[in-house]
A and B are shown apart, each in its own frame.
Chain A
Amino acid sequence: MFLTIHRTFKEAFKNFTRNGWLSIATVSILTMSLFVISVFFVVTLAVDNVLNGVQEKVNVSIYFKPDVSEEKIDEVKSALEKFEEIKSVDYISKEKALEDFKRNNATEPVILASLDEIGENPLLASLIVKAYDVNKYQLISEYVEKAEFSSDISRVNYGKNKDIIDKLNGFIAVTRKVGIGLGSLFTLISLLVTFNAIRITIYTHKSEIEIMRLVGASNMFIRLPFIFEGVLYGILSGMISMLILFTSIKLIAIYAPSISLVSSLMSIYLGNFWILFAGQVALGSLLGIIGSFIAMRKYLKV
């Protein structure tokens, strides 16, 4: 058994090097397929990252009238926290609000000066409500506006964010649908092309397979070199595809550093390096193995 594996592996390696051009063609096609699939994977993750980031920033702020006591606000806070749709409720006191305001406008001396002019803290205490799902903000703001504590509320800023939130919701839904649709289409096309390339490779070995059978090679002995060759294609294509992907991300980062999507690409690439690499090698090898298995059935009469 060890002898068979040793011999068939050697055979696969020789096949690979002696069929130079065909091997290069097959590896190129497989590389392109893997590249397309991995680009889809990385971009999906990047878009998801950006969308999550934006979603993170969306919230409903409830501003209380200046005379409402801290205890009262605390009651409202714990009332809101009971809803399972609500992820978090953060209390921003007047003082905290002023501090944030000053920090955010540190470079605007006019604003700071006018703040001093007023003399007292003009800002309101607020509760910042975040939901798990952007679709729920509408409900939350409606609830707040009708609640018994609504008389203590100065304003709810959901209305201001409503458009952004609605647009974002639409964008997320469309992006995911288009992404999944295009991704699956490209993946399918790449798989079919690769599969065919491997079938052609086997086809050129048709008469060789016939000869191998004539000299008494078992089907296993004939098959193993092709299977190893498929694995070899997979490993090589996976490595090349990873390299191209790395180069492309580097180049994009150099020429378009300002796009927020781009900045997350490299960290996604590095963060998922092994998953990406292993996935590509596995997919490449699997395609090689399945392709050669099916293509050979015909010539092995099994």
Chain B
Amino acid sequence: MTIKKNINIEEESKKTILCFDGICKVYKGDYPALDDINLVIREGEFVSIVGQSGSGKSTLLKLIYAEESATGGELYFNDELLNNLSKRKLPYHRRSIGTVFQDFKLLPKKNVYENVAYALEVSGVLQEEIVSDVPQILDIVGLSEKMRKYPHQLSGGEQQKVAIARALVHAPMVIIADEPTGNLDPKSSLEIIELLMKINSLGTTVILASHDKDIVDKVNRRVIRLDNGKIIVDCAKGKYKNS
């Protein structure tokens, strides 16, 4: 009992990265996608968000990378208010977040190296740094051999690894993964999740939205279940089923 308490204190002393304060999101002329969400995510956490389709998982993630903005409540990222983020500041915000999607979202006309390098080029990183950083990151995800291949020449699992490398190359505070294993076979799925866990163990916060019970059980960390835009379960260390 005392040990567990200590862990909690340690967790709570960590920096808050995301704070949802009474967040609501209503799409025009539609039912609320998110309804009064109160949630705190701290540095170094691995949070799995589960729930049925239409429960609000993707909307929650979109608010974080500012693809959508909340219609009510306040959302803080790294102590900065995200509501109505200005057009000018949006790209800078995006560079502090890495995103990974079910459909990989790689640039089809760029090879593996260029896809990862592009994320650095847009932030004005010097060429020398790009040349040294990109191969390192590709080495971490195990794709150094396929640097000159184009996305269509890779398997789904490999494409997702490229996407993860691209998300990681900025050294972002948070990685957001929206159903990253949705298009992958079980073996590749496992590899992707292990990669995300490895990244998390190196200190990056990971927020994962998933349908996949096996995946969430494998992670075995904080699980948040959404239903009709509301948080119905938030357990610090959980499995898909009992969440």
Contact = CB atoms under 8 A, between A and B. Distances in A.
Contacts of A215: 94-95, 99, 118-119, 122, 166
B105 A217 contact: no
Interface stretch (A11-19, A91-99, A153-161, A180-188): A11-19
A208 interface: yes
Contact of B122 (A18, A208, A210, A218): A218
A19 B108 CA distance: 11
B171 interface: no
A214 B108 CA distance: 15
A214 B105 contact: yes
B91 A208 contact: no
Interface in B79-130: 87, 91-95, 99, 105-109, 118-119, 121-124, 126
B57 to A, nearest CB: 17
Interface in B34-74: 65, 67
Nearest to B124: A3
Nearest to B93: A216
A211 B65 CA distance: 13
Contact of B107 (A3, A4, A7, A211): A211
A169 interface: no
A216 B92 contact: yes
Interface string B156-171: 0000000000100010
Nearest to A14: B109
A216 B95 contact: yes
Given A3-B124, A7-B121, A218 B109 contact: no
B157 to A, nearest CB: 19
B122 A212 contact: yes
A211 B106 contact: yes
Nearest to A215: B119
Interface in A159-218: 207-208, 210-218
B123 A216 contact: yes
B207 to A, nearest CB: 15
Nearest to B101: A214
Contacts of B118: 212, 215, 217
A302 interface: yes
Interface string A1-40: 0011001000000110011000000000000000000000
Contacts of B87: 219, 302
Nearest to B96: A216
Secondary structure class of chain B's binding surface, majority of residues: loop
| Interface range for A | 20 to 34
B91 A210 contact: no
A218 B91 contact: yes
A273 to B, nearest CB: 37
A246 interface: no
A90 to B, nearest CB: 72
Contacts of B119: 215-216
A52 B118 CA distance: 60
A221 interface: yes
B122 A221 contact: yes
Given A215-B119, A302-B87, A4 B109 contact: no
Contacts of B93: 216
A15 B109 contact: yes
Contacts of B67: 214
Contacts of A207: 105
Contacts of A208: 107-109
B99 A19 contact: no
Contacts of B166: 215
B164 to A, nearest CB: 13
Nearest to A10: B121
Contacts of A14: 109
Contacts of A15: 109
A19 B105 contact: no
A217 B122 contact: yes
Given A7-B121, A221-B122, A302-B87, A216 B107 contact: no
Contacts of B107: 208, 211-212
A158 to B, nearest CB: 73
B99 A214 contact: yes
Contacts of A213: 91, 94
Interface in A212-251: 212-219, 221
A3 B109 CA distance: 22
Interface of B: 65, 67, 87, 91-95, 99, 105-109, 118-119, 121-124, 126, 166, 170
23 contacts: A4-B124, A14-B109, A208-B108, A208-B109, A210-B105, A212-B107, A212-B118, A212-B122, A213-B94, A214-B67, A214-B94, A214-B99, A215-B99, A215-B119, A215-B166, A216-B93, A216-B94, A216-B122, A216-B170, A217-B91, A217-B118, A218-B91, A218-B122
Question: Top 6 nearest A-B pairs by Cβ distance?
Answer: A216-B94, A216-B95, A217-B122, A215-B119, A218-B91, A18-B109
Given A214-B94, A215-B99, A215-B166, 5 more contacts: A212-B118, A213-B91, A214-B99, A216-B95, A219-B91
